[in-house]
Structure 1
Amino acid sequence: MILVTGATGLVGSYLILHLIENGASVTALYRNEKSIEKTKSLFQLYHKSDLFEKIQWVQGDIIDIPSLEEVFHNIDFVYHCAAKISFDPRDEEKLRKINIEGTANVVNFCLAKNVKKLCFVSSISALGDLPSAQAITDEETDWNAEKPHSDYAISKYGAEMEIWRGQQEGLQVVIVNPGVILGAVPKSWNREEGSFKIITTVAKGLKYFTTGSTGFVGVTDVVQCMMQLMKSDTNGERYILVSENLPYKTIIDLIADKLKVNPPKIEAKPWMTQLAWRLDWIMSNLFFKKRTLTRAIAKSLHTKDKYSSQKLYRELNYQFQPIEEVIEAIAEHY
C-alpha cells in the first residue's frame, strides 16, 4: 500500500492519478472533506472519475501526531508531498511547523512502521549557493547558511535534514528538487495561489517583465520521475527536476501566446521592484493583507539561476517534456 501526503495539492493529485492508472493501491491523506473535492475535480478534468473511486482516503494532519497512528497502518511506501508554500515573512512559524516538524513526524512514523521507502518532494530553493567559480547549480552545491534565504527555503532545507536523519536511522529515502512546477488545474481550484498564479497573472494582462531566469518543469514529469525513483534501487540520493532553465520573459511570452493575450512590453528595473516590495510591505501592515511581493521575491525576479538535471538523465535516461508543450496543455484547459 502506498501513502501520499499532500494528496489534495498539485503534485499530490497528479501523483495519485498516475499511481492508480498504473494499478497501485493508494491511501491519500486529507485534512477536511472539502479538500477532497480538489483532487476529484482533477480526475474529472482528465475524464478519470472512475479511477477516483479507487482512492482510500484517510483523515489526518502531519503536525498532529495522534492522527497519524492509523494513517500508517499497512503502508509500504510513502510519497511525502505535503508542505506549506509561502514567501510571506509572517508565515515563518507556520512554515517551520508544517515543513520541518511535519516532515520529522512523517519520518518517525516511517521508521516506527517499517516503511520500505520514502520519497520527499523538496524544492530547488533548498539547493546550495553557487560559489563564484560555478555557473550552474547541481545536487552537490553546498548550502551556505551565512547567505540570505527565504523562510520557505530554510524550511525546505530543514525538512531535507529530517529526511537524511531518517536515512541514517535505516530508512530508504530519495529526495526530488523540482523547479517551478507547471500544470493544468480545474477551474474550481484557487488559481491565484502557487505556480499557477503565473498563468492567471498573464491571462489578466501583465504589463511588466523582469530579466531573471530559473528552472521550470511540468507536473507530469515530476510525478513520473518520483515513481521511477521509488521503483529503482536508489537510496540516499537527491535529484534536481528541471526541464528547462528559461528567462521569466520567455515563459511569460509563451503563456501569452498560448492564451492569445498581449505579452508585457515594459521591463521592470531592479529599483522598481525594490520600491514595489517596500510599498507592498506598507500596504500589508496598514490593511492586514497577505504579502504578494517580498524582498526575497523581488531579488529573485532579477537573478539568473540555472539548474542541472544531468544526474537524473544519467541514472534514468529520463527525457523531460519541453516547457512549451506543458504550457500549451495548460492553455487547452484554462
Structure 2
Amino acid sequence: MVLVTGGTGLVGAHLLLHLLQNNTKVRAIYRDGSNLNRVEKVFSYYTENASGLFGQIEWVLADINDIPALDIAFKNIDYVYHAAAMISFDPKDYYKLKKANVQGTANIVNLCLSNSINKLCYVSTIGAIGKSLEGQKANEKNDWAGQDANVYALTKYRAEMEVWRGSQEGLDVVIVNPGVIIGPGFWEQGSGNLFTTAYRARDYYPPSGTGFITINDVVKIMVELMQSKIINQRFIAVSENMTYKDILTRLANAIDKKAPSKMLRFWQLHLLRFFDFFSSSITGNKRRITKKTINSLRNTEIYDNGKIMEMLGFEFENLDECILFCSERFREEYP
C-alpha cells in the first residue's frame, strides 16, 4: 500500500488520482479542517468516475507532527510520497514553516526508517536549487546559498537535509524539485493565483522569470522515479523556462483577457512592499512582498531538466495544452 501526505493539495490530489487509476491501493493523511471535497472535485476534471475513485482512498486524520496518528497511518505501508508542506513567504511564519516543513519531514523520515519503508519520494522546490550563474542553467549540483533564500525555500532545503539523512541511515529516497506547477483546482493559492491574476487583466507584470511545469508531468515523474531502480538522487522538474510576462500573457490569452503590457519597476515593487508590510501589520494577513521576494526578481532563473530526461527518458507534455485545459476549468468555476 502507498501512503500520500499532503493529499488535499494540488500535487497530492493529482497523485492520488494517478495512483488510483493505475489500481494502486492508497492511504492519505489529512488535517482537521481540510477540504476533502476539493480532492473529489479535482478528480471530476479528468473522469466521470470521480466519486468511485475517491471512495477507494483510505483517509487517516493526522498531522505530520502528530506521531501517534502517523504511527497508525504507516501501518502496512510499502511506499511513501511526502507532498505535505506549509507554503508561506512571510518572514514572521518562519518558525511555523520550520515546524511543518523541517520537523514534519524529519518525522516522516524517521517513521519510514522504523517501518522499513521500501522507498520515499519527497516533493521539494526549485527554490532549494542553487542559483543559475552568468546565464547558465542551474542544475542539481549548483551550490545553494541560504542567505539569499526566502523562508519557504530555506525550510524546504533543510527538509531535504532530513531526507538525505534518512538515505544515510538506509532509506531509499528520491527528491523532486518542481518549478511553478500549472494545474487546476486551487485557484486561490500557489500557481492558481496566476490564473486569478490573468483573469483580473492587470496592466503590470513582474520582472524576471523562472521554470514552469504541468501538474501531470510532476506526478508522472514522481511515480516513474518510485517505480525505477533510481535511489538517492534529486531531480529538477521543469519543462519550460519563461518570463512572468510570457506566462501571464499565455494565461490571459487562454481565458480571453487582456495581456499585461507594463513591467513593474523595482521602485514600484519596494513601494508595494511598504504598503504590504503595513497592511499585514493591521490585518494580520500574510505578507506577499518582501525584500527577498524582490531580490529574487533581479535575475531570471533558468533550470536544466537534462538529468530527468536522460535518466528516465522523460518527455514533457505541451504546456500550452495544460494552460488551455486549466483555463477551461477556471471559466467553468468563475463564469
Asked if Structure 1 and Structure 2 have the same fold, meaning a TM-score greater than 0.5 normalized by the shorter chain, the answer is yes
1:277/1:317 CA distance change after superposition, 3 Å: same
TM-score (norm 2): 0.95
Q: Which runs of 4+ in 1 moved over 4 A?
A: none
Q: Which moved more, 1:175-184 or 1:27-36?
A: 27-36
DSSP-derived class of the 1:69 partner: helix
Identical-residue share of aligned pairs (%): 42
Does the CA-based 8 Å contact 1:203-1:261 persist in structure 2?
yes
**1:93 equivalenced with 2:95 (yes/no):** yes
Aligned partner letter, 2:140: E
Residues of 2 paired with 1:18 and 1:286: CA distance?
A: 43
Residues of 2 paired with 1:315 and 1:169: CA distance?
A: 25
Does the CA-based 8 Å contact 1:244-1:322 persist in structure 2?
no
Residues of 2 paired with 1:81 and 1:244: CA distance?
A: 22
Aligned partner letter, 1:96: K
Match of 1:250 in 2: 246
Residues of 2 paired with 1:49 and 1:318: CA distance?
A: 31
Does the CA-based 8 Å contact 2:29-2:59 persist in structure 1?
yes
Deviation at 1:108, TM superposition (A): 0.2
Does the CA-based 8 Å contact 2:8-2:34 persist in structure 1?
no
Match of 2:104 in 1: 102
Residue ranges of structure 1 left out of the alignment (5+ in a row): none
Match of 1:22 in 2: 22
Residues of 2 paired with 1:25 and 1:203: CA distance?
A: 38
Residue ranges of structure 2 left out of the alignment (5+ in a row): 331-335
Deviation at 1:65, TM superposition (A): 1.3
Q: Deviations over 1:288-309 (max 9, x none)?
A: 3321222222233342000011
Match of 1:3 in 2: 3
How many pairs were matched up? 328
**1:274 equivalenced with 2:275 (yes/no):** no
Does the CA-based 8 Å contact 1:242-1:307 persist in structure 2?
yes
DSSP-derived class of the 1:17 partner: helix
Q: Give the alignment partner of residue 85 of structure 2, picking from 83, 86, 98.
A: 83
Aligned partner letter, 2:198: V
1:233/1:203 CA distance change after superposition, 3 Å: same
Q: Write the mapping of 1:64-213 to structure 2, written as runs, cut at 5 A.
A: 64-132=66-134, 135-145=136-146, 147-185=147-185, 189=186, 191-213=187-209
Match of 1:56 in 2: 58
Residues of 2 paired with 1:259 and 1:32: CA distance?
A: 35
Residues of 2 paired with 1:269 and 1:34: CA distance?
A: 38
* Root-mean-square deviation over aligned CA pairs: 1.3
Match of 2:315 in 1: 319
1:140/1:328 CA distance change after superposition, 3 Å: same
Residues of 2 paired with 1:235 and 1:248: CA distance?
A: 34
Residues of 2 paired with 1:270 and 1:61: CA distance?
A: 40
Q: Deviations over 1:87-143 (max 9, x none)?
A: 1111111110000000000000000000000000000001123455x6111001111
Aligned partner letter, 1:168: Q
DSSP-derived class of the 2:259 partner: coil
Residues of 2 paired with 1:34 and 1:238: CA distance?
A: 29
**1:292 equivalenced with 2:292 (yes/no):** no
Aligned partner letter, 1:268: L
Residues of 1 paired with 2:195 and 2:33: CA distance?
A: 28
Deviation at 1:44, TM superposition (A): 2.3
